Structure 1
Amino acid sequence: MTYQLKYKPFGEQSVLIEWPQIISKEILKDVLSFKAKLEAEKRIHDVNHAYNSLLVSFNDFTNGLESKINELEAIYNTAHIVNKYAFKRWRIPVCYDTHFGIDLHELALTNNLSVDEVIRRHSTISYTVYFIGFLPGFLYLGGLDKTLYTPRKASPRLKIEKGAVAIGGGQTGIYPSESPGGWNIIGNSPINFFDIKAQTPCFANAGDEIQFYQVSKEIHSNIKTLVEAGVYQIESEVIND
Structure 2
Amino acid sequence: MDYSLKYFQYNEHSILIEWPAIIDENILKSILNFKNSIQKKYIKQKVEVINSYNSILIIYNFTIDSVNDKFLELKSLYEAQKSILDFQSSIWEIPVCYNRKFGEDLDGFSKEKGLEIPELIKLHSEQIYTVFFIGFLPGFLYLGGLYNKLHLDRKATPNLNVKKGSVAIGGQQTGIYPQDSPGGWHIIGRTPIELFNANVNPPCFIESGDKIKFKPIDKSEYIDINERITKSSFQLKPVKKNV
Q: Same fold (TM over 0.5)?
A: yes
Structure-1 residue corresponding to 2:219: 217
Cα deviations by residue, 1:181-238 (Å, 9 ceiling, x for unpaired): 1110000001111122233321111111111011111111111101111111214223
Taking the aligned partners of 1:47 and 1:210, their CA distance within structure 2 comes to 23
Q: Which residue of 2 aligns with 1:15?
A: 15
1:30-179 equivalences under 5 Å are 30-42=30-42, 45-58=47-60, 59-63=62-66, 65-179=67-181
For the aligned residue pairs, the C-alpha RMSD in angstroms reads 1.6
* Alignment deviations for residues 82-131 of structure 1 (CA, whole Å, 9 cap, x no partner): 21543211111100011111111111122221111111000001111111
SS of 2:41 mapped into structure 1: coil
- Structure 1 residue 166: deviation in Å? 0.3
Task: Report the Cα distance in structure 2 between the residues aligned to 1:201 and 1:161, rounded to whole angstroms.
Answer: 19
Structure 1 CA distance for aligned equivalents of residues 123 and 220 of structure 2:
23
Q: Contact conserved, 1:93 with 1:213, CA < 8 A, in 2?
A: yes
Q: Provide the residue aligned with 1:230 in structure 2.
A: 232
Partner amino acid, structure 2, of 1:145: Y
> Percent identity at matched positions?
43
Alignment-derived partner of residue 25 in structure 2: 25
Q: Is the 8 A contact 2:36 2:87 kept in 1?
A: no
User: What secondary structure sits across from 2:69 in the alignment?
Assistant: helix
- Matched-pair contact (CA < 8 Å) for 2:33–2:87: no
Matches of 2:89 and 2:140, distance apart in 1: 18
Structure 1 residues 194 and 21, CA gap change in structure 2 (3 angstroms): same
Partner SS state of residue 47, structure 2: strand
CA contact (8 A) 1:44 1:56 kept: no
Moved more, 207-216 or 38-47: 38-47
Q: Deviations over 1:142-186 (max 9, x none)?
A: 111111111111111110111100001111111111111111000
Distance 2:33 2:210 in 1: 14
Match of 1:197 in 2: 199
CA distance in 2, matches of 1:73, 1:144: 34
Aligned equivalents of 1:137, 1:119: Cα separation in 2? 23
Structure 1 runs (4+) greater than 6 angstroms displaced? none
Equivalents in 2 of 1:215, 1:34: separation in Å?
38
Conservation of the 8 A alpha-carbon contact between 1:92 and 1:235: no
Residue in structure 1 matched with residue 6 of structure 2 by the alignment = 6
**Contact persistence 2:91–2:242 (CA under 8 A):** no
- Secondary structure (helix, strand or coil) at the match of 1:236 reads coil
Counting matched residue pairs gives 240
Tell me what 2:189 maps to.
187
Deviates more, 1:184-193 or 1:135-144: 135-144
